Structure 1
Amino acid sequence: MSQIKVLFVCMGNICRSPTAEGVFISLLKDKGSSDKFLVDSAGTHAYHVGEPPDARAQQTAKQRGVDLSFIRARKFRYEDFEHFDYILAMDQDNLDILKQACPIEYQHKVRLFLDYAEGRDETDVPDPYYGGQNGFNHVFDLVTDAAEGFYQKVLK
């Protein structure tokens, strides 16, 4: 069986999508499913290419047992549409950017990540960049719920 390829996407790839990447990798390790998936993250904008995740995102994740230090920001590439099975946007703005650029034959791959978060009314993972620590905690909680829901849905 080939690996399921998952790409998490936000704007700059230093807060939300690397948190989602780290959380999902951690969940896969806990479930013994790391070998079944290839996981990455990217940004729709090239503001932070090559940079590690925001220090606040790393600190929040580390406090909850998730390492983000190995991740480096990159910009979403057109070939990602073909390469990945799931392209999961953190919010409607980034979903719109992806959908607009996406060839028709790959549109089914592009979704909102929070579509998989059971029992959550929110559709967007809010960008915590300009806020305080509570924003990073909230992002972590949202992506943890969505990661679990996504994992369950994909394995069915």
Structure 2
Amino acid sequence: MVVRVLFVCLGNICRSPMAEGMFRAKVDAAGLTDQIRIDSAATGNWNLGNPPHRGTQQVLTKHGIDHTQMRARLIDQDDFADFDYVIGMDGSNMKDLEALKPLESDVILKKLMDFAPDEKQQEVPDPYYTGNFDETERLVSAGCEGLLRAIRERYSI
């Protein structure tokens, strides 16, 4: 069995590719690469085809995570059938995702910070607007650790 995880933010150039890369590194370190598939997407179409923002590239490079193949793409209806988890970054993303989600979909739709209940901040602020990639990195890392724990518990892997 392969668990499929899709991270989603507004433009798919800052938060969701950061989560995709950081989560992939955690999955690789846990030896679960063959059991968890990871991708990211956008709810908006402004940056389609673009690589991650240079701030996200810097964070990923600092962690030794390759981002050269990452390109922004738009979420679509098929993603709700193709993925087990669709993970948004903030309330606005969640509102957009809930509106897109087909009624028959049984995808697990949650905010990343739902997996980091000890954090005061329950949304990942968009560093495209805040400029604070360090805070985004800290929150994304905490959320990804919690998500990996939840998946390992749920699927006994």
Unaligned runs of 5+ in 1: none
Query: How many residue pairs end up in the alignment?
Result: 153
Per the alignment, residue 147 of structure 1 pairs with 144
Q: Percent identity?
A: 37
Pick aligned residue for 1:137 from 120, 134, 138:
134
Once structures 1 and 2 are overlaid, which stretch shifts more, 38-47 or 102-111?
A: 102-111
Secondary structure of the structure 1 residue equivalent to 2:40: strand
TM-aligned CA deviation for residue 103 of structure 1: 1.8
Query: Does structure 2 conserve the Cα–Cα contact (< 8 Å) formed by 1:118 and 1:145?
Result: no
SS of the residue 1:53 aligns to:
coil
Q: Distance in 2 between matches of 1:94 and 1:114?
A: 13
- Is the Cα–Cα contact under 8 Å of residues 14 and 73 in structure 1 kept in the other structure? yes
Deviation at 1:118, TM superposition (A): 4.1
- Most deviating of 38-47 and 122-131: 122-131
- Contact 1:99-1:107 at 8 Å conserved across structures: no
How far did residue 117 of structure 1 move?
1.2
Q: CA RMSD in A?
A: 1.3
Q: How does 1:7-156 map to 2 (within 5 A)?
A: 7-106=6-105, 108-132=107-131, 135-156=132-153
1:68-125 deviation line (CA, Å, top 9, x unaligned) = 2221100001110111000000110010011012122326521111100141022210
Give, in whole Å, the separation in 2 of the partners of 1:47 and 1:55: 16
Q: Counterpart amino acid of 1:70?
A: Q
Q: CA deviation at 1:35?
A: 0.6
What TM-score, normalized to structure 1?
0.93
- In the alignment, the residues of structure 2 paired with residue 143 and residue 125 of structure 1 have an alpha-carbon distance, to the nearest angstrom, of 7
Q: Which amino acid aligns with 2:66?
A: D
Residue 49 of structure 2 aligns to a residue whose secondary structure is coil
